[in-house]
Every structure is written in C-alpha cells, then in structure tokens.
Chain A
Amino acid sequence: MGNVDLNAKIPNNVNLKDDRRLQRALESWQPNYIDWWKSMGPEGFQADEIYLRTAVDVGRDGWAHFEHVKMPEYRWGIFLTPRDDDRVIPCGDHAGMEAWQQVPGEYRNMLRRIIVTQADTEPASVEQQRLLGQTAPSQYDLRNLFQVNVEEGRHLWAMVYLLHTYFGRDGREEAEDLLRRRSGDPDSPRILGTFNEPIEDWLSFFMFTTFTDRDGKFQLLSLTESAFDPCSRTCRFMLTEEAHHMFVGETGVGRTIQRTCEVMNELGTTDPEAIRKHGAIDLPTIQRYINRWFSSSVNLFGGERSSNAAMYFAAGLKGRYKEERYEDHVALEGIYNLPLPQNGGMTNEEVPLRNAMNEVLRDGYVGDCKFVCDRWNRVLEKAGREERVYLPNRRFNRDIGVYSGVHFDTDGNRITQEEWDAKRDGWLPNETDKAFVKSLMKPSLGVGQIASWIAPPRTGINKNAFEWEYVRFDKSSVGVSLGAKPSLTG
C-alpha cells in the first residue's frame, strides 16, 4: 500500500502522511490486521453493510460521521486528544515536571508491558464476541455489537500506534504478536485469563460491556494521568468510545430488566418458572449474572497490595482516577486501611498508599458500578416493582488478590467452604440458568423485530427509529438466512 493510500484509508491526527517510520510499520501491519479481522472478527456478517459511526476527527463533529459500511472496509483511525504544551506530570516522583513526549529509557520496558497488556484486551474482546451476531435480539443490537467491535479494533490501532511510534523494533514485534495471540487458544492465549473465555450469550455480552469494559474505562483513566504524554492523549480519546460500550451494556441489561418487569406485571407473578416460560429472564437469574460479571471484572484490577502498582505510580506511568482531585500527588505518606482475611475472621492492615493504588482505583470502579445498579433499580421502580438488584461486595467470588482462596457472601462476610458450596448456585449462574439463557438466544434480525426477553430501546441510533434498517444484509451471503428467520415473540 502506498503512502497516499495509507493516509486515505486511515483517518488520523498524527501526521501519518509525513511520518515515514509509522508508514513503514503500518504498511506491513495494516494488511495483517485486516486478515485478522476477517478471520477472527464477527463471523457471518463481513459482507453486510452495517450502520456504523466512524471517527474522522477529534473535534465534536468528527464523531458524527455515520454510514452503512462493510466492516472490513471500516476506516480505523488513529486519534489522540490534541497536545497541551503546558501539561505537567500529574503524579509520582516526577510530579510537576514537564510531561514526557518520548519514553524515558528507564521506563521503556515497564511502559511497553502496560501498553501491551491493555492493547491485548481489545482484539481479545472482539474474538470473544465473534459468534454473538448470529443470535442478536434485534438489528439495533446487532449494529451496536458491531460498533463495539470496530471500536475495540480502533483501540487496538491506538495502542499499536504507541508501540510503532515509541518502542522501536520491540514495539513492532509486540504489535505483530497482538494479532497472533487468540482468545482461548491454549498455545497462544490472550494475556489476561478473563479474556480467554468466549462470551456465549447476549446477557453475558451486556454484563461484559457494563462491568468488564468499565474496568477498561478505569484503566484508561489511570493511564490518562501518565507522565508519558502520547499515552495520556491516546487514552483520553479512547475513553469517548469506551463510554458508548458501557452505554450498550447498561441499557442492554436495563432493557432486559424492563422486559422482565413487563412480564411480571402482565402475569402478576414473580415466579421464575412462569417468567421463563413466557420467554423473559427472571430477576434472580439476572442478579446471578451481575454477581458473576462484577466479581470477575473486579479481579482485573490486580492485587490489593502490589509492588508493581507502587512502581507504576512512583514512576508516573499511571495515576489515580481523577488525580486532580487529590492534593498530595506524591502519595508517599498515606496509608490505606485494607481489611484482610485472617484465621477465619478479618483484620485490618495498613498498606502504604502507593502499594494500594490498585485498590484505590478499584474504589472508584465499585462506586461507578453502584450508580449503574441504581439506574437499573430505577427501571424496576418506574415499572412499579418492589424488587431491586444489587451489587455484590467486592470480596465476593474473587480469584485474584487477598480475598481469593477464602469465601465471602455477597455482603462481604466471611463464610465457610460448606456455606459457600451450599449457596454458590444461588449466587452465581448455575447450569440450569446458563441452559435457559442459551435457549433464548435465537436471532431476531428482521427490521423492527425484537426478541422475547428484551425490551426495545426508547430511541434508535443517530435519531433513527428502532424500526430501521441498521444492517443491510448481503443478499448473496449466508448471513441473509439469519435475517429471514422468524423471531421469537413473547
């Protein structure tokens, strides 16, 4: 691909047309990326035209660009929030000094590891979700899924831009490896465990975009505080897209709850069996999915006491959520009171603040998730229901950190192995739940059609109605048969 082609295909604000190093790197990476997208991206819809939003500029209007486009032809761009020449390092040992426009050699490896780990989750989630399109509950949702997917793809581009531009040959090799690893492949898995499990149903997808993408949001927030300015600016721009993913998740779960309310009101019962028979998902099952996805996403923040976290903060590679709210940006003095399991009970440990930075970030995350829960409860309230959903305690069902290896109930109280074994199936999706949710996963892809278990959204995309052709199926492809299938109705 020539330079002119590259520049036309890749919307950017990084002066790609004059950057020979970046051109050279992208010339080989871009075709590999398209190959990866075709083989690992959404299966069965590559020839269809999807109503997608494309970032063509960093300004407000740059986001308003919607058109029907075949996904492999989507214009993945490279955008950074414009540079602020006066920006200083917000936190850590170098706080107050001029932000770095190049990577200092001493932090190169650490920074590369952080960026690669973040970057790896982007293609991973596309891979995890690649079969979901085939069971979409509506065209609107199908389109949203693909919007999320192409934006995860763009996030990969954003991270690869950093690797290509600032990390030399190592960076190029890491960028290649990002296309080589495969979610769930035992020989070449994605870096983080959670990203190697397929997302098999739409309820899980909505939970993932609510809770797991929200972890992404907080990781990006901590990276926007980075002393390494290009990383900060890249992540700042990515956050605008991440917000849409969480919107998809939160409204997806909200609409599921909405539908459940309608069925409960219609039937005048809360009996899960009756609700299930009616093709909706009972609230206890929804709660169990919340419990599962919240707890697994909480793990992603890492250990409560972490020397890496301290090192990253000290070096200024990562900051806290909204670092500007704090007065002390060095954080060498403070302590964090961490409740710790000890001898069947709990005790308190004073952790030096820097070592507790993962937990500080997790605090922000848990608070954010609480607001989401409140909004879901408003759906219940408006439907005149007494029932409420809740967020389990962060200690519940943990695999990583000081709360792993012992058991807690959803309120965060220590419980024994026996209690856990007895109650586990009431707290987390059990086999019956999974089989039931799976049984609902039938495509409902006609214009204006909607599956039985979810309510339609209040409005469509870009001022279009819900009943609108968000996906123009390619009549010659297999995908069309999905669209022609009759949808389940409630």
Chain B
Amino acid sequence: MTATLAPVRFEISPEQYRHWQLEFDGPIARLRMNIQEDEGLRDGYVLKLNSYDLGVDIELADATRRLRFEHPEVRVLVIDSAIDRVFCSGANIHMLGASTHAFKVNFCKFTNETRLYLEDMSAECGIHTLAALNGTCAGGGYELAMACDEIALVDDGNSAVSLPEVPLLGVLPGTGGLTRLVDKRKVRRDLADVFSTVAEGIKGRRAEKWGLVDKSVPSSRFKQWVDDRAASFGDADAPRGRSADDAGVVLEPLGGEYTESGVTHRYVSATIDGRTATITVRGPDGTPPADAAAARAQGGDFWPLRLARELDDVLLDLRFNRLDIGTLILESKGDADQVLAYDAFLAEHAESDWFVFEALAYWKRVLKRVDLTARSVFALIEPGHCFVGSLFELTLAADRSYMLDDPEQPTEVRLSALNRGALPMPNGLTRLETRFLGDAEALEAVLAHEGAWDAVAAQDAGLVTLSPDDIDWEDEVRIAIEERASLSPDALTGMEANLRFAGPETLETKIFGRLSAWQNWIFQRPNAVGEQGALTLYGRPERPVFDWRRT
C-alpha cells in the first residue's frame, strides 16, 4: 500500500457493513461472516472463502463496540458464517502479498486489538462468545475463533481447524502468532507443534481431544446444538445493571475533519508539522452530569466517551494513513479540576452503572492503543493543561514527558482514583506500577501523596522525565523532538516496544511482543518475501527455495 491510496477510515455503522450480518434475537446476538469477494478495501485481490482484509476487521471491531453500548440486552454472541462448509479461511494471502510491510504490521496489530476487544467484551460485559465453526477454519479464522470463549466445530468428516502458515506460506501462524493456542487454550506444546505443521489441520473428535475446540458436534445436530447452547445463556446475569429494559446508547458518527495537515474532532485534534504530529486533548466543557442516568442521557456526548472515541480515531488515522509521522506530541488544554470531577464521577458510578463503566473501559482500551502505538510519544505539560488523573495516564504512556517549570505560570499535576487500577496496561499493571517497578518506596510515596505536584516536585517524584524552566524549555523540547526525528525509525520502534512493557508478561504483551518481533521478522525474511520466498510464490507455479541456515 502506498500513500497515494485512499485513506482508510475506521468509523462505520451496521447499515454500512458489507461483510457481516449482525442480527439480534433478544439476548442472542449473531454475527455472521459473509465476506463479499469483490468488496475488498483495496483492488487487486478477491476475498474468496470468507478470507478477510482490514475492511472486514474494521466492521468486526465496530460490531463489538456497538454490542457493548447499544445492546445491553445481549448475553451471548454467536459468531458463524453464511457460507456453506466454510467458516473463515483467514487473512487473504493475496492481500498480504500485495501489501507493504508497514501495512501488514498494522493490519496484524489492528486485528489483534479487535480480538482482544472480543475477549474484553466477554470478561467485562457478561457476553458469552461462541464461535460456531460450520466448516473450514484456517489461519486468522482460527485466531478469531480462539478469541471467543467457546469453539464448536461441526463434525462432518471434512471440516478442520488449521494453522497452515508454516507449511504453506512460510510465516508465523495467525496474525498474532501462537500465543492463544498455548497460553489461552493451553494446548499441549507438542500437540500444538504437530497441529501447526499440518496444512490440512485437525478435525472432529481429535480437535476436541487436543483442546483445539471445545466441542465437536455431528453435522446433523450442529445447528440445533448451537441454538441450544446460545439459548442457555439467555437469562445469564450481567454485571453493573446491564439490562434488557435499557435502550442502550447509540454511537453516532463523530464527523471528524481529515485534511493533509491533520484531523479535527470536538475534543481531540492532530496537527501535522513535518514528521511530527501534535495531538491536543481537551478537557470537559463543564461539570459532570448529576448522576449516572444523566450521563446516559448525554449518550455519545458524555465527555469521557466522546474523548475516547475521538482519540481512538486519531490514533488509527495516524497509524494507517500517515506512516511518515514518527513522533507524536501529546498536549492538553482544559480545566484540570473538571477532569478530576469527571474522574470522581467515573470512579463513583463505574461499578454500579454499566454505561459509565463502558465509557471508562473504552478509555482503558484507547490508552492501551497509545501503549501499542509504534511511534515515539512525548507529552508536554504546559500552563493551561489538564493532564491530571485519567488524562495523566497519557503522559505516563508516553516515552518521555516534559513539564514546564515557570514560576510566572505555575503548573501542577495531580492523580485521581483512576490512576490506581482502573486503567491497566497490557501487562496487567497500572502505568504507575510499571513506571516504578524497581522502586516500591517511590510508588508508595506517589500514591500516598495528597494534592498536587509542581514541576520540580513532579520531576523529583519521578512522575515526569524533565522539568525545564522557561528559559531552557524551548531548546530542550525542540532539541529532543528534532533529535528523535533523526534516529532510525526501526530502531526506535524496537527500543520503545522493549522499554514500554516492563514487568510481567500477559497474553496481551506476548501477543504484541511476538507479533512485533517474530511475525514481523519472519514476514521480512527472504524465505517469506524474497523472490523465491514461500509467501511470494504462494499460488504461483514455482515452489519456494529456502535459505536453510537457522539464525
């Protein structure tokens, strides 16, 4: 993909879906994959046999969001296929073959974020997810199935689950590697090894026995089994008052403006200058709503929700459409007291009101997307800013933060209840815990601190990287940004990804870590993409020729 292609837009709504049918029957939602061959996001490939491209995943990501906000009545989501004897044959190989490396990486990252959102949805909203594999399920299709709570596979003597990437394409299986196979489903490693080298996959009872699927169901009973299973979740409890009596909150289009020089939304904008984009985040317009019902009445205009959606959109636009922007500068403007008031509101209602929780959970996901953004991120804390509490997390997500120390315009930062666990990183820790991983005392001191830190105190406490005074500020910041822009983008991507996720490994960190390291490495190697590489030659008359040396 080159920059001359039409930009990818991430906002969509169900009536615009081309590849999925989203249907509701009381507490049962059905997401049926029906990929339109000739409606790929780009020209030059045909989406045969329910193979997907980014456009398909954008719809899937949208559907998981809308289920959370718009359908509080739903207790179970069945993902199946409209195509006879085919569930999903994974990411489209010809699309991958025609894509730039950067696009492939971003595609894989996006699809993995979407799969994690499915898992989040199940864990946080009480929506059981059931992958009903009515037929062949290969590669990324199986990754999608593994992202569900439960997998049922039709036993018709033919249908198999498979990860054929190693034997057929010479790349790492699935878009997120093999992590879910052994870490989530806990398939024994030797069986996983056999499974991952058999192109035709494993079917029926053996797939069940190996733990590749949860249930193998004879063909004649499959549909009924899926219906019965789905119905058994119909009256399950859902947390935080999610109820069929609620109407849900419709996510209206954001209506951002996209130009050469940036993106403008109501609370978030990005301004491009050379290879740097300045993202400005704005605080709320006033005080929080009186109560949770009032928040729900505001719907999509509820500030934390709107802010999260806008920032999400800006991050994706930068990620996919503006590849040469290497550095993101985070700034904020607004009334810090009101941000803290909103934080208090969120903290008070999130555990009792599902909608308030959803807004907070959205912010959590967007912050993770910042963590996973393969660009250098610097935060600038200047007078008039509102980087406090939940927004202070942005500065903690940044690779570096600079806070102006100007006695004429004193600047402060503050924490809120939301810095203490509501907004974890992919490693399962808070950003503060990760930051002070080797310094329990410093963490304790920060958490015990009441009130604000000025710039010098913030630097002393380890909350910001540097607090230049008003005389040094201009040069410090300018030089830091200019220097950053001069370094190898690849080295920076690797360095940042290594430094950001100190602490324990989780499913998420493994997926993205291995995705960035192994998958991207293998995808670059001549054995995959060289003239005689397996991916290059897939579907062509020649067979691949490998360089047999192991590294």
Whether A352 and B540, one on each chain, are in contact in the complex, defined by CB atoms closer than 8 angstroms, is: yes
> Is there a chain B Cβ closer than 8 Å to A84's Cβ?
no
Could you say which residues of chain B place their CB within 8 Å of the CB of A311? 543
**A135 vs B207: C-alpha distance when bound (angstroms):** 43
Given A109-B167, A188-B156, A314:B200 Cβ within 8 A:
no
Could you say which residues of chain B place their CB within 8 Å of the CB of A353? 541
Q: Which of A163-199 contact B (CB under 8 A)?
A: 177, 181, 186-191
Interface string of A148-172 (1 = CB under 8 A from B): 0000000000000000000000000
Residue in chain A with minimal CB distance to B206: A173
Q: Chain A interface (Cβ within 8 Å of chain B)?
A: 93, 109-110, 113, 177, 181, 186-191, 307, 310-311, 314-315, 331-332, 352-355
Whether A307 and B220, one on each chain, are in contact in the complex, defined by CB atoms closer than 8 angstroms, is: no
Q: Which of B202-239 contact A (CB under 8 A)?
A: 218-221
> Is there a chain A Cβ closer than 8 Å to B538's Cβ?
yes
Whether B541 and A314, one on each chain, are in contact in the complex, defined by CB atoms closer than 8 angstroms, is: yes
Residue in chain A with minimal CB distance to B217: A187
Whether B200 and A113, one on each chain, are in contact in the complex, defined by CB atoms closer than 8 angstroms, is: yes
Whether A188 and B198, one on each chain, are in contact in the complex, defined by CB atoms closer than 8 angstroms, is: no
> Is there a chain A Cβ closer than 8 Å to B295's Cβ?
no
Give the residue among A186, A191, A331 with the most B Cβ atoms within 10 A. A186
Q: Closest CB-CB distance, A352 to chain B, in whole Å?
A: 4
Whether A186 and B540, one on each chain, are in contact in the complex, defined by CB atoms closer than 8 angstroms, is: no
Whether A355 and B155, one on each chain, are in contact in the complex, defined by CB atoms closer than 8 angstroms, is: no
Whether B198 and A310, one on each chain, are in contact in the complex, defined by CB atoms closer than 8 angstroms, is: no
Whether A187 and B543, one on each chain, are in contact in the complex, defined by CB atoms closer than 8 angstroms, is: no
Q: Closest CB-CB distance, A120 to chain B, in whole Å?
A: 9
Whether A191 and B541, one on each chain, are in contact in the complex, defined by CB atoms closer than 8 angstroms, is: no
Interface string of B4-30 (1 = CB under 8 A from A): 000000000000000000000000000
Q: A-B contact count, CB below 8 Å?
A: 54
**A456 vs B285: C-alpha distance when bound (angstroms):** 96
Interface string of B147-178 (1 = CB under 8 A from A): 00000000111100000000100000000000
**A249 vs B543: C-alpha distance when bound (angstroms):** 40
> Is there a chain A Cβ closer than 8 Å to B199's Cβ?
yes
> Is there a chain A Cβ closer than 8 Å to B542's Cβ?
yes
Q: Chain B interface (Cβ within 8 Å of chain A)?
A: 155-158, 167, 198-200, 218-221, 538-543
Whether B156 and A355, one on each chain, are in contact in the complex, defined by CB atoms closer than 8 angstroms, is: no
Whether B541 and A109, one on each chain, are in contact in the complex, defined by CB atoms closer than 8 angstroms, is: no
- Other A-B contacts than A314-B542, A315-B543, A354-B541, 4 sampled, CB-CB below 8 A, are A113-B200, A310-B539, A310-B541, A355-B539
Could you say which residues of chain A place their CB within 8 Å of the CB of B158? 189, 191
Whether A187 and B155, one on each chain, are in contact in the complex, defined by CB atoms closer than 8 angstroms, is: yes
Could you say which residues of chain A place their CB within 8 Å of the CB of B542? 314, 332, 354
**A23 vs B37: C-alpha distance when bound (angstroms):** 50
Given A109-B199, A109-B200, A113-B200, A187:B539 Cβ within 8 A:
no
**A191 vs B538: C-alpha distance when bound (angstroms):** 25
Given A109-B198, A187-B219, A181:B543 Cβ within 8 A:
no
Name the contact of B157 in the complex, choosing from A181, A307, A354 (C-beta under 8 A): A181
27 pairs, A vs B, C-beta closer than 8 Å: A113-B200, A177-B157, A186-B219, A187-B155, A187-B157, A187-B218, A187-B220, A188-B157, A188-B218, A188-B219, A189-B156, A189-B158, A190-B157, A191-B157, A307-B540, A310-B539, A310-B540, A314-B542, A314-B543, A315-B543, A331-B541, A332-B541, A352-B541, A353-B541, A354-B542, A355-B539, A355-B540
Residue in chain B with minimal CB distance to A334: B541
Residue in chain A with minimal CB distance to B93: A307
Could you say which residues of chain A place their CB within 8 Å of the CB of B543? 93, 311, 314-315
Could you say which residues of chain B place their CB within 8 Å of the CB of A186? 156, 218-220
Residue in chain A with minimal CB distance to B203: A177
Could you say which residues of chain B place their CB within 8 Å of the CB of A113? 200
Q: Closest CB-CB distance, A189 to chain B, in whole Å?
A: 6
Could you say which residues of chain B place their CB within 8 Å of the CB of A109? 167, 198-200
**A307 vs B169: C-alpha distance when bound (angstroms):** 12
Which 8 residue pairs are nearest across A and B when measured between Cβ atoms?
A354-B541, A187-B218, A307-B539, A352-B541, A186-B220, A314-B543, A186-B219, A310-B541
Could you say which residues of chain B place their CB within 8 Å of the CB of A110? 199
Residue in chain A with minimal CB distance to B543: A314
Could you say which residues of chain A place their CB within 8 Å of the CB of B155? 187-188
Residue in chain B with minimal CB distance to A353: B541
Whether B219 and A355, one on each chain, are in contact in the complex, defined by CB atoms closer than 8 angstroms, is: no
**A2 vs B156: C-alpha distance when bound (angstroms):** 36
**A189 vs B218: C-alpha distance when bound (angstroms):** 11
**A191 vs B199: C-alpha distance when bound (angstroms):** 17
Residue in chain B with minimal CB distance to A333: B541
Given A109-B167, A109-B198, A109-B199, A189:B157 Cβ within 8 A:
yes
Q: Closest CB-CB distance, B109 to chain A, in whole Å?
A: 28
**A310 vs B157: C-alpha distance when bound (angstroms):** 26
Residue in chain A with minimal CB distance to B85: A193
Q: Closest CB-CB distance, B340 to chain A, in whole Å?
A: 60
**A188 vs B155: C-alpha distance when bound (angstroms):** 7
Q: Closest CB-CB distance, A163 to chain B, in whole Å?
A: 15
**A332 vs B538: C-alpha distance when bound (angstroms):** 15
Could you say which residues of chain B place their CB within 8 Å of the CB of A191? 157-158
Give the residue among A188, A190, A352, A354 with the most B Cβ atoms within 10 A. A188
**A352 vs B219: C-alpha distance when bound (angstroms):** 38
Whether B538 and A307, one on each chain, are in contact in the complex, defined by CB atoms closer than 8 angstroms, is: yes
Given A186-B219, A187-B220, A355:B541 Cβ within 8 A:
yes
Residue in chain A with minimal CB distance to B221: A187
Residue in chain B with minimal CB distance to A313: B541
**A315 vs B156: C-alpha distance when bound (angstroms):** 30
**A311 vs B218: C-alpha distance when bound (angstroms):** 32
Q: Closest CB-CB distance, B39 to chain A, in whole Å?
A: 16
**A445 vs B141: C-alpha distance when bound (angstroms):** 56
Residue in chain A with minimal CB distance to B198: A109
Whether A187 and B156, one on each chain, are in contact in the complex, defined by CB atoms closer than 8 angstroms, is: yes
Q: Closest CB-CB distance, A188 to chain B, in whole Å?
A: 5
**A93 vs B538: C-alpha distance when bound (angstroms):** 16
**A276 vs B539: C-alpha distance when bound (angstroms):** 51
**A331 vs B156: C-alpha distance when bound (angstroms):** 37
Could you say which residues of chain B place their CB within 8 Å of the CB of A331? 541
Q: Closest CB-CB distance, A411 to chain B, in whole Å?
A: 28
**A332 vs B537: C-alpha distance when bound (angstroms):** 13
Could you say which residues of chain B place their CB within 8 Å of the CB of A315? 543
